Structure 1
Amino acid sequence: MAALSGCIDVPDGAPLPSAAAPPPPAYVADAVPPPVILVSIDGFRADQIDRGATPTLAAVAADGVRAKSMRPSFPSLTFPNHYTLVTGLYPDHHGIVNNAMEDAELGVFSMNDHTAVADARWWNQATPLWVSVQEQGRHSGVMFWPGSEAPVQGVRPDHWQPFDAKVTPDQRVDTVLGWMDLPGDQRPSFITLYFDQVDHAEHEKGPGSAQADAASALVDRALARLVDGLKRRGLFDTVNLVIVSDHGMTATGPDRRIILDDLVDPAALHVVTTGPLAGIGVAPGQAAVAARLLGRHEHMECWRKQDLPTRFRYGTNDRVPAILCLADDGWEVTTRATLERNKDKPASLGDHGYDTASPAMGALFVAHGPAFRRGAVVPEFPNVDVYPLLVRLLAIEGERNDGHVEDVLPMLQPGA
């Protein structure tokens, strides 16, 4: 792993040096607002906390605040929702409308294309929290997060790393603890920490599988490492820790596919995305043919983007394709050409991207720290509210956003 701006260079699998660092003086809570650590467990469904595989997470929740569920933004996909969490904007407003998308000027974006991911022009329709933190004279550290590899609005986090799935959960935690060991005037006020292992296991083997539980346990052990590291530094009770996921997951399989070719001539379609949500452009001169997709089909419904149900808050951004087809839970929309391209890949047994009202898409929210109540369970709220909550915890001026801090005030201590 190459050392870049703010990076720590270590061999794969080796512990980072911060793990053995002597603890700095205890954080003085009344000097500046306490640091905020935002943790994402990609794909962790709200009800997974009750499966018994994550005792550390359950203990933090029991001693702090837990939401019954957190409703993701539409579409319930990784990149759109991670950018929503740090901008407070729905994907239609921040511009990351899918994990894959097209832009008339920029071309094609894919979450697996490093060149596109590192191009700030894809991200500049919004301002992520780490940019605001730094522009207001404080420091940030991003241990993986969609958007952090690009100089958004011309600004990079003080500390960051390009995403590398080979960096273990423990290494990620040790990097964060290393940032907490910095002198007070250099220590980040805002830190993110991202884990992708649960999402991968659920895609491959399905939610509720033994492999998914093992991945959850792996991440939980990393959380225990984080909690223990903060306690040894005298910081656990003075840091506001917010643990979320971007979406839930539902079981799917190769026997639950809707083939667009069976409904219309594929020559009429320009397919941008497939899966739970198919995004489709219309080939020149083929509008009448493509229109045959519109309406309700078995296990799927299709709309022109301007006719989507208003509750999705989606469809006005130029990057959203002309026609959107949303599958019922557990089903996927595809084409024969897509199946042929992917014929050598194993079929996914779990997926997300479905209607955000589905309980299976419900995301995790847990918080602990001096700002939060103890032993509280709060009703479901939309994930756009996380941003104004973080802004309040950090005592900074935030950007225009779609969230409502009033929704999350009941989880805070009086006067927090």
Structure 2
Amino acid sequence: MIRSILTTLFGSILLALSPALAATNTPDQDDATSESAEIRGPVTILISIDGFRPDYMDRGITPNLAALATAGVHAPMRPSFPTKTFPNHWTLVTGKTPDNHGIVGNTMEDTARPGEVFKMATKDPFWWDQAEPIWITAEKQGVRSATMFWPGSEVELDGKRPGDWWPFNEKLSNDRRVNAIIDWMRRPAQIRPKLITLYFDTVDSAGHYFGPAPSDRLDAAIKAVDQNIGDLKAQLDVLGQPVNFVIVSDHGMAETAPERIIYLDTIMPRDQYRLVEDGNYAGIESLTGDMDAIRAAFLKTHDNMQCWERSQIPEHFRYGQNARVPSIICLPETGWVVYQDVPEWMTGIGGGHGYDNRHPDMTAFFLASGPAIAAKGKMPIFDNVDVYSLVARLANIEPNASDGNLHPFEDALAK
């Protein structure tokens, strides 16, 4: 009874005070007022849409990307060989070719670590320390960085990591990835990142399962990522946060089919060599150290595939000088695949990448937009080693020596 009387009395007091409370800012409103009053400098956000082909923009389903492109620049971009996820993501943040940064494949070996195999979940710094990614350079120079996923961003190098980083989890939805960035940007200025990476994998996954041709499933993934980027920009606008966006993909996507399979067992019995990687290209090593039989089997004419010894890989690939490159590389024609055992999922039309980086289907995507970028429209194709120099300029970071430069973007940088 006493509790009931007190409850009623307390409710009456709150009711009486409600006009005054309504006229007073809540803590959240105070924060918003403080944020809107603050003059914020631009942040640089590097976004990867894994497997996004430039011609996906022609489907009329990416209004947010189209608006950013209209306000800035966009271009087809030539990826590095091999056109795989990890080598190209490491190129984008180091400015070096796979030969020079050491991540020469999604799977690889090193004679300095016999019996070990690098896989995409490998975090041992040994495999990553042939080049320094831009977030480590940023931290060394006092520019706070944050990585919402990026291959290699979980690795501690030279005793440093990004100021903020999340371990990769493909089950973390894209909207939660966006929300994490917004949370970072709500922080006080002294602990707010100035350089951010963001990674979306859903377009690549859809491309692998359904192929790159227009389809309900792939187009839904493209639309969803476009909306995620639109939501990110809208929330940053509410915060009054200017952004220089650099939006890229790591490679394109080519259509594959079960009738375009090269079977390695028809070239050499599998117990006579070691297969490092297969699929869209093959890496071959000797089991015994005797390469003569392997050369005789692989270094000859094949239907729909060429093979080279590491030292003889054509120069235009800029690949083969690093000791981690397999002794024999076999590259199928684009759209063909090479396997010992065909994956169970390969029962119909799908998609793949890893092919010749000059092939149109492997072409990657580039877009830059923001206060530091002039509206210059479509640029000519360029190599993805150049993106590093642009991101460093936008984030006020002194870049390390790289294989690229700022030249493709000189006309696009706002004066």
- Given the two structures, how large is their TM-score scaled by the length of structure 1? 0.88
- 2:71 touches 2:370 (CA, 8 Å); kept in 1? no
Matched residues in 1 for 2:259 and 2:52: separation? Answer: 24
Quickly say closer, same or farther: Cα 1:26–1:269, change in 2 above 3 A: farther
- Cα distance 1:218–1:287, how it changes in 2: closer, same or farther (>3 A)? same
Q: 1:285 to 1:169 in 2, by over 3 A?
A: closer
Partners of 1:346 and 1:177 in 2: how far apart?
41
Give the Cα separation in 2 of the matches to 1:318 and 1:27: 51
Distance in 1 (CA, whole Å) between partners of 2:349 and 2:181 is: 32
Q: 1:46 deviation in Å?
A: 1.0
The equivalent residue for 1:6 is none
Aligned to 1:170: 175
**Partner Cα separation in structure 1 for residue 349 and residue 322 of structure 2:** 29
Report if the CA contact (8 A) 2:257-2:346 is conserved: no
Report the CA distance between 1:253 and its aligned residue: 1.5
Q: What SS does the corresponding residue of 2:189 show, helix, strand or coil?
A: coil
Shift of 1:156: 1.0
After superposition, the C-alpha distances for 1:27-48 in whole angstroms (9 at most, x for unaligned) are 646xx6x320001100000111
State the number of aligned residues. 381
Letter in 2 for 1:388: S
The CA deviation string for residues 298-317 of structure 1, in whole angstroms up to 9 with x for no partner, is: 11100001101111111111
Secondary structure in structure 1 of the residue aligned to 2:117: strand
Query: Which one of 38, 61, 64 corresponds to residue 53 of structure 1?
Result: 61
Partner of 2:44: 36
Alignment-derived partner of residue 242 in structure 1: 246
In the other structure, the counterpart of 2:185 is 180
Indicate the residue corresponding to 1:386 in structure 2.
Answer: 387
Task: Give the corresponding residue for 2:402.
Answer: 401
Deviation at 1:187, TM superposition (A): 1.1
CA distance in 1, matches of 2:231, 2:289: 59
Alignment map for 1:367-382 (pairs within 5 Å): 367-382=368-383
Distance in 1 (alpha carbons) for counterparts of 2:377 and 2:69: 8
Higher helix proportion (structure 1 or 2): 2
RMSD of aligned residue pairs (Cα, Å): 1.8
Q: Which has the larger radius of gyration?
A: 2
The secondary structure found in structure 1 opposite 2:275 is strand
- In the superposition, relative to structure 1, how do residues 325 and 201 fare at CA in structure 2: closer, same or farther (>3 Å)? same
8 Å contact from structure 1 (residues 264, 289) kept in 2: no
CA distance in 1, matches of 2:337, 2:171: 29
Deviations 1:283-329 (A, max 9, x none): 32542221131144211100001101111111111111100000111
Which runs of 5 or more residues in structure 2 are unaligned?
1-27
- Give the gaps of 5 or more residues in structure 1: 1-17
CA contact (8 A) 1:142 1:157 kept: yes
Query: Corresponding residue for 1:255?
Result: 259
Runs of 4+ in 1 over 6 A off after TM superposition: none
Instruction: Report the identity percentage.
Output: 46
Q: Which residue in the other structure is 1:138 paired with?
A: 143
TM-score (norm 2): 0.88
Q: Deviations over 1:66-114 (max 9, x none)?
A: 11x0000110000110010000010111111111111223411111x3x
Compute the displacement of 1:375 (Å): 4.4
CA gap 1:151/1:307 in 2 versus in 1, 3 angstroms = same
Question: Does 2:130 align with 1:102?
Answer: no
Q: 1:344 to 1:145 in 2, by over 3 A?
A: closer
> Matched residues in 1 for 2:232 and 2:345: separation?
39
How many Å separate the matches in 2 of 1:41 and 1:22?
31
Helix, strand or coil at the partner of 2:64:
helix
| CA distance 1:299–1:245, change in 2 (3 Å) | same
User: Distance between the aligned counterparts of 1:344 and 1:41, measured in 2?
Assistant: 23
